[in-house]
Amino acid sequence: MPVIPPERLAPLQSNQNNIRNFTLLAHVDHGKTTLADSLLATNGIISSKLAGTVRYLDFREDEITRGITMKSSAISLFFKVISQSSEKAVENDYLINLIDSPGHVDFSSEVSSASRLCDGAFILIDAVEGVCSQTITVLRQAWVDKIKMVLVINKMDRLVTELKLSPIEAHHHLLRLVEQVNAVIGTFYRGELMNLDEMEEETSDEGIYFSPEQGNVIFASASDGWAFFLDQFSDFYEKKLGMKSSVLTKCLWGDYYLDPKTKRILQAKHLQGRRLKPLFVQFVLDNIWAVYNSAIVDRDLEKIEKIVKTLNIKVLPRDMKSKDPRNLLLAVFQQWLPLSTAILLTAIRKIPCPIDAQKDRALKVLKTTPHFENVAPEIATAMSHCKADKEEPMLAYISKMVAFSERDLPQQKRRQLTAEQMHELRQAKLAGSLEDSVGSLSVNENELEENPENKDHEEEEEKDVFVGFARIYSGTISVGQQVYVYGPKYDPANPDEHVTKVTIESLYLMMGQELFPLDTVPAGNVFAIGGLAGTVLRTATLCSLPKGPNLVGVSQQMEPIVRVAVEPSRPYEMSKLVAGLDMLNQSDPCVQISAEQNGEHVIMCAGEIHLERCLKDLRERFAKIEIQASQPIVPFRETTIAAPDISVNDKEAPLGFVNTSVASDGIQIKLSVSPLPSNLVNFLLDHEKTIESFMHHISKKGRNGDLERSDAQKQKEEILSSEDFITTIHELLSNDTSIKNNITDYLDSIMSFGPKRVGPNMLIDKTGSMKKVRQESDGSRLIPFDLGEYIATAFQISTQQGPLCAEPVQGICVCIESIEIENGQENEVLTIGNPQIPGQVISAVREAIKQGFLAWSPRLLLAMYSCDVQATAEVLGRVYGVVAKRKGRIVDEEMKEGTPFFVVKAVIPVVESFGFAVEILKRTSGAAYPQLIFHGFEMLDENPFWVPTTEEELEDLGELADRENIAKRYMLNVRRRKGLLVEQKVVEKAEKQRTLKH
């Protein structure tokens, strides 16, 4: 295939009807990049024989080493379709904008960035492994973005070579597989119907399911280079069977049979006991199985020659006699059922062009943007109709910023000479006019060698520049054009805030790791834009007019859970580290960078592989210095429960009751700490927005600055009214009989929630005295109202930094039982002007809450991963062993019907998960690979302060408690990392001190 130069692709951008923008989505290792290789081979970018082994779009070193995609990358392809009309053949040139996305759960944000720019998606599923955890994630992402989906059942060759299924068995297996995918789509549809408002109309489920007869299912083997959809076989058998192609397509899938005598199609109920093969088996699978059996299983070259002759294709003798059976398979299949033809023809038929796609999606997308009613009408109209005229408003969306080396930019590269220019240069050299010719055709190399500035320039370190990964929805964007850049916080209701006006410096056509310069880009295209590094951090909206919509809405599928603190090996390079962290933060949509109060720079990542990639990029690309990284920091939570191991010190005072005094016993504060029921804690965790609204309602002032939640949480959460909120809390408390402290009668006296005023802990004023506002008669003496703010501050600090290891607390209720202030006018200490009172009250209340917390049975909550592993029976025991070693537990195990695989679902602590995937791969010899998804926090039911006390415990464990206290180990490790006091014997059972003489 001849190479298609980028110059040939640029003119195709103006024909919007012949543009297709789609992405490849799948679970990890289901064949996305391998399939992309076959599509690239159609444009001569790589050899068709190397397709599937080059992995052209995985150009990062760590992607090549691990064999997984970590960054979504785009490339534009040319595809010509020749259709036969009544008079003559009609040629149509299509521009295919392909985006390859990662499948690993750590890089889910890359999937969000890719799908938002496209009009369609090819969902790849392994024919053997079936629907996996990340398959459901990408299906949900495509459903949310309202893009057209096409199902690709990949790795069909594994049904023959690994499972050794017969064609009939494979047919039943494929039927179940399609049903499983449709079941997932059905759950999305039903969930959407349940969330509809009363005023919204129900949408039909027509066309949302996958069905091969509708042409939205492709059967493929990307590694062997073949794929097909039913229309290809129905066209092939149309004349032989004497049936219309459209009728045959509907009958090729499902339980339809061909009567060999009457040549009529029968359903299963009309077979009358005859054992006939389904049409899909007889006309499709039998033929494919025959090629595999002849080429690999039985190696029958005579049969292969008959098949080649029947298919009317040509296979070279060297391929026929090749010792590698894959060469023979490629030679047959790439001529008979070429993968690129099936994929690209389906894309043209089923993926809508930008005009049709935006007609259906634009209004739905705009309605989800903030204050849509304030958007200029001409912008909404131009976006809905994908108008590409220069007079129309320009609207584009940047989904992420991509880092490129400065030397990879087209401006820095030498212009490649054409064959004609090279011929002219050779003739000029022979004619003796070399200098003039070189000066006119290329860069003067002698001048480069003699110019010392160029030498210095080459010796400089390579710089990285950021390019925006974008989609234009209306109008035309041009180099030199002035546009408005809307930041993520932009709101059309306040059009003057978070807006910057910039001039477009450069536009590019993305070709994998290469960029091709463009002057203009019309609506409907995916492109790259340069020169916005100082203006755009991660995502932004570009518009030629003010009062445009804010299209930034890509949500993270996985919140950062793993943290490390980084510092330079040489302290004087701290400025380079800070600059490198800023560049890393800009290039990765999922990473979060923060500077702690103690001066540490912390990187927060989605998982272990994501963390490794970030550290590698920081060392080698952005900071370019030696970096020291701490051990991974995993968050914990602290709570307390009513457990049998509680020891009561004061039998008169209730459990958790604490009396504290301030200012030489001038102020007496009595409070109680009690645990909240788990169902109430979960309710508070799920309704942070409601808590914020409730606190705003009771305090008449908002506290927006204290919230840290993603946009996705804000959209999913149902905001309750204050009355419903209190009623629900009352019901949850009333249903729990374990609560000793009756707080249901005081819910109207809630002072605050914590930590950060929206957490799952409550502060209640049972006295009611802190609501009484100061009167003139009070003078300057202290009253309980003056202490309310100090007590609330102490509560916030105590719940943010718990007593065990200074981690956030959840599930406690602090009740102020009484406040007594000495009523003495002559006491100058107890006045509102005393600056010592706030600090003393805060310190005393913090200590009291700590004592009340520890009076119960404290517990640690561990961050947990849910783990999905597919493994065969031979390695199942090893998987169980690794999970048990990592303090995990098996939740579920089931066998996938029709396959030898077991699906094991487990949960393991995040703190024990580092190196888990590598150990699974080693122990199973690569036969199992886990997918880890953050599952939430789970209580470790072990008191970190437990020691044996009863006779049975002392007899079994001894006074030193030889059994390891895991909760204590976790607690002490966190305290050491934070520099807190650790009460632990350093030397045990020492016999003698040795003094060495020097």
401 touches 533 (CB < 8 A): yes
Task: Supply the pLDDT for residue 503.
Answer: 92
Provide DSSP, 488-526. Answer: TT-BTTBTTSSEEEEE--EEEEEETTEEEEESEEETT-E
Asked whether the predicted pLDDT for residue 708 surpasses 60, the reply is no
Looking at residue 962, what is its pLDDT? 54
pLDDT band at 704 (very low <50, low <70, confident <90, very high): very low
What is the arithmetic mean of pLDDT over 377-396? Answer: 91
Write the DSSP string, 329-392: HHHHHHHHSBHHHHHHHHHHHHSPPHHHHHHHHHHHHHHTSTTGGGS-HHHHHHHHTT---TTS
Give the separation between CA 738 and CA 754, rounded to whole angstroms.
22
Q: pLDDT of 554-586, one tens digit each?
A: 454 456 888 999 999 999 999 999 999 998 988
- Give the pLDDT of residue 85: 61
* CB-neighbour burial class of residue 496 (10 A; exposed 0-12, middle 13-18, buried 19+): exposed
Residue 423 has pLDDT above 90, yes or no: no
Cα(804)–Cα(827) distance, integer angstroms: 38
Crossing angle of the two packed helices 678-686 and 722-735, in degrees rounded to 10: 160
- 131, 901 in Cβ contact below 8 A? no
What token pair was written down for 489? 């916080």
- The residue behind tokens 């520890």 is 854
User: Which amino acid, 24?
Assistant: L
pLDDT the model gives residue 446? 43
The whole-angstrom separation of Cα 40 and Cα 78 is 9
pLDDT confidence of residue 743: 83
Quick check: 83 and 89 in contact, CB under 8 A? yes
123-143 exposure pattern, b = at least 16 Cβ within 10 A, e = fewer = bbbbbbbbbbbbbebbbbbbb
Q: How far apart are CA 15 and CA 74, in angstroms?
A: 20
Highest mean pLDDT among 642-646, 671-675, 695-699: 671-675
Place 447 in a pLDDT band, splitting at 50, 70 and 90. very low
As a whole number, mean pLDDT of residues 486-502 equals 87
Model confidence at 445: pLDDT above 50: no
Q: So where are the chain's domains?
A: 1-197+206-225+338-352, 230-337, 354-410+462-543, 562-633, 640-699+720-771+784-823+835-855, 859-978
Best CA proximity match to 817, nearest among 790, 793, 784, 857: 784
Question: What is the average pLDDT across 497-518?
Answer: 90
The percentage of residues in the chain with a pLDDT greater than 90, rounded to a whole number, is 40
Question: What does the pLDDT average to over 595-605?
Answer: 86
Question: Which tokens belong to 854?
Answer: 């520890």
Between helix 377-384 and helix 354-367 the angle, nearest 10°, is 140
> How far apart (Å, rounded) are the C-alpha atoms in residues 489 and 499?
9
The CATH class, in words, for 640-699+720-771+784-823+835-855 is: alpha beta
Residue 693 pLDDT level (bands cut at 50, 70, 90): confident
Q: What are phi and psi of 957, to 5 degrees?
A: -110, -20
Tokens for 13, please give them: 């951008």
Average pLDDT on 512-520 reads: 90
Of 10-24, 454-468, 830-844, where does the model show the most confidence? Answer: 10-24
Among 2.40.30.10, 2.60.120.10, 1.10.20.10, 3.40.50.300, name the CATH number for the domain at 354-410+462-543.
Answer: 2.40.30.10
What pLDDT score was predicted for residue 408?
76
* Helix or strand holding residue 37 (H, E): helix 32-41
Mean pLDDT of 887-898: 88
What values do phi and psi take at 55, rounded to 5? 55, 60
Q: How far, in Å, CA of 923 to CA of 917, rounded?
A: 10
785: helix, coil or strand?
A: helix
Mean pLDDT score, 262-271: 83
Residue 907 has pLDDT above 90, yes or no: yes
In three-state secondary structure terms, 205 is coil
Query: Who has greater pLDDT, 667 or 50?
Result: 667
Please tell me the predicted confidence (pLDDT) of residue 425.
74
So what's the pLDDT on residue 438? 46
The DSSP element (H or E) to which 612 belongs, if any, is: helix 608-617
Report the DSSP beta bridge partners of residue 21. 97
Q: What is the mean pLDDT of residues 454-463?
A: 50
Q: Is 210 helix (H, G, I), strand (E, B) or coil?
A: coil
Distance CA 304, CA 292 (A): 9
**pLDDT per position as a tens digit, 325-344:** 888 888 899 899 999 999 99
Q: Which of 70, 41, 37 is nearest to 52 (CA)?
A: 37
Q: How many CA atoms lie within 13 A of 796 on its CB side?
A: 12
Of 83-92, 529-538, 688-697, 861-870, the range with the highest mean pLDDT is: 861-870
**Residues 933 and 562 sit within 8 Å (Cβ to Cβ):** no
Task: Answer with the residue of higher pLDDT: 521 or 987.
Answer: 521
Q: What pLDDT, on the 0 to 100 scale, is given for residue 199?
A: 63
Lowest average pLDDT, out of 33-47, 133-147, 283-297, 436-450, goes to 436-450
Q: Is 190 helix (H, G, I), strand (E, B) or coil?
A: helix
Q: What is the DSSP string of 666-731?
A: TEEEEEEEEEPPHHHHHHHHH-HHHHHHHHHHHHSS--GGG----HHHHHHSPPPPHHHHHHHHHH
CATH class of segment(s) 562-633: alpha beta
Q: What string of DSSP letters covers 230-260?
A: HHHHHHHHHHHHT--HHHHHHHSSSSEEE-T
Q: List, for residues 761-798, the tens digit of each pLDDT value.
A: 999 999 888 877 777 666 777 888 888 899 999 999 99
Return the pLDDT at 644: 62
Query: What pLDDT sits at residue 200?
Result: 66
CB 660, CB 825: distance < 8 Å: no
Residue 126: phi, psi to the nearest 5?
-65, 130
The residues with which 566 forms a beta bridge, in sequence order, are 601, 629
Q: What is the dihedral of CA 843, 849, 854, 855, to 10 degrees?
A: 120
Residues facing residue 482 across a β-bridge: 503
The answer to whether the beta carbons of residues 926 and 936 sit under 8 Å apart is no
Local confidence band at 285 (pLDDT 50, 70, 90 cut-offs) = very high
The answer to whether domain 562-633 and domain 859-978 are alike in fold is yes
Q: Identify each DSSP E strand in 119-179 by its residue range.
A: 120-126, 148-154
User: What's phi and psi for 196, nearest 5 deg?
Assistant: -70, 145
How confident is the model over 356-362, as a mean pLDDT? 88
Written as one letter, the residue type at 7 is E
Q: Own/partner pairs for 457-463, CB < 8 Å, 24+ apart? A: 461/624, 462/405, 462/406, 462/407, 463/405, 463/406
Let me know if 7 is exposed, middle or buried by CB neighbors in 10 A (0-12, 13-18, 19+): exposed
Helices (H), 165-281: 167-194, 230-241, 245-251, 279-280
As a whole number of angstroms, the distance between CA 175 and CA 889 comes to 33
- Residue-wise pLDDT for 165-222, tens only, equals 999 999 999 999 999 999 999 999 988 888 776 666 677 778 889 999 999 999 999 9
Which pairing describes strands 812-821 and 761-765: parallel, antiparallel, or unpaired?
Answer: parallel
Judged by average pLDDT, the poorest of 2-11, 227-236, 448-457 is 448-457
Task: Reply yes or no: is the peptide bond before residue 755 cis, omega within 30 of 0.
Answer: yes
If one counts every other C-beta atom within 10 angstroms of the C-beta of residue 848, the result is 24
Has residue 65 got a pLDDT over 90? no
Second-level CATH architecture of 859-978:
2-Layer Sandwich (3.30)
Average pLDDT of 74-82?
90
Number of other CB atoms surrounding residue 718 within 10 Å = 10
Of 448 and 700, the structure prediction assigns the larger pLDDT to 700
Is pLDDT of 686 > 70?
A: yes
892 versus 203: which is more confidently predicted? 892
Three-state SS at 485: strand
The pLDDT assigned to 79 comes to 92
Which amino acid would we find at residue 655? L
Task: Quote the CATH superfamily of domain 1-197+206-225+338-352.
Answer: P-loop containing nucleotide triphosphate hydrolases (3.40.50.300)
Tokens representing 541 are 């909206």
Residues near 145 by beta carbon (within 8 Å), at least 6 away in sequence: 115, 116
CA–CA distances in Å: residue 458 to residues 82, 412, 443, 445, 462 = 49, 12, 15, 14, 9
pLDDT greater than 80 at residue 672: yes
Residue 453's pLDDT is what?
A: 46
Q: What is the pLDDT of residue 745?
A: 84
What pLDDT is stored for residue 712 in this prediction?
A: 36
Q: Determine the pLDDT at residue 67.
A: 79
Give the pLDDT confidence of 222-266 residue by residue, as tens digits: 999 999 999 999 988 888 888 888 889 899 998 898 888 888 888
Position 259 scores a pLDDT of 85
Q: What is the Cα–Cα distance from 674 to 743, expressed in whole angstroms? A: 10
Which range is least confidently modeled, 113-117, 125-129, 201-205? Answer: 201-205
**pLDDT, position 442:** 47
Which distant-in-sequence residues (6+ apart) come within 8 Å of 115 by Cβ?
A: 23, 25, 101, 121, 138, 141, 142, 145, 147
Provide the phi-psi class of 238: left if phi over 0, else alpha when psi is between -120 and 50, else beta.
alpha
Q: How far apart are CA 53 and CA 225, in angstroms?
A: 11
Residue 86 has pLDDT above 70, yes or no: no
Contact 939, 859 (CB under 8 A): yes
| pLDDT tens-digit readout, 709-755 | 333 333 445 688 888 899 999 898 888 766 555 788 888 889 999 89
Superfamily of 230-337 according to CATH: Yeast translation eEF2 (G' domain) (3.90.1430.10)
Beta-ladder partners of 396 = 472, 542
Residue 583 burial (CB < 10 Å; 0-12/13-18/19+)? buried
The model's confidence at residue 996, banded by pLDDT at 50, 70 and 90, is low
Return the bridge partners of 870, or none: 903
- How far is 542 from 393, CA to CA, in rounded Å? 10
